[in-house]
Amino acid sequence: MDQFISANGAEDHALLLDCSDLSFKLVPIPANVALVIANTMVKHASPAANTPRAARKWKRPLRSFGKHRPGVKFLRDATLNDLGKWGQEMSPNALKRARHVVSENTRTVQAAKALLNGDFKTLGALMAGAHWSYSHDFEASCAEADAMVALAQICPDSSARASPAEASAAAPSTLWN
Q: What is the pLDDT along the chain (177 residues), one digit of tens a residue?
A: 789 999 999 999 999 999 889 999 999 999 988 878 788 888 766 555 556 666 666 677 788 888 898 888 888 889 999 999 999 998 898 899 899 999 999 999 999 999 999 998 899 889 889 999 999 898 888 889 889 888 888 876 666 554 445 444 444 333 333
Q: Alpha-carbon distance 122 to 110, whole Å?
A: 9
Report if residue 153 sits inside a domain. Answer: yes
In a domain, 2, yes or no: no
Residue 78 belongs to a domain: yes
Residue-number span of the structural domain to which 40 is assigned: 33-169
Query: Phi and psi (nearest 5°) for 18?
Result: -100, 105
Are 47 and 140 a contacting pair, CB within 8 Å?
yes
In a domain, residue 131? The reply is yes
> In angstroms, rounded to a whole number, what is the distance separating the alpha carbons of residues 162 and 81?
24
pTM of the predicted protein model: 0.78
CATH number at residue 135: 3.30.70.890
4 lies in some domain? no
Residues labelled as active-site residues: 2
- Domain assignment present for residue 14? The answer is no
Task: Choose among 100, 169, 107, 167: nearest CA to 136.
Answer: 100
Q: What is the DSSP string of 37-97?
A: ----------TT-SSHHHHHHHHHHHHHHHHH-TT--SGGG--HHHHHHHGGGS-HHHHHH
Number of domains comprising the chain: 1
For 142, counting Cβ atoms within 10 Å of its Cβ (0-12 exposed, 13-18 middle, 19+ buried), the class is: middle
Q: Has residue 26 been placed in a domain?
A: no
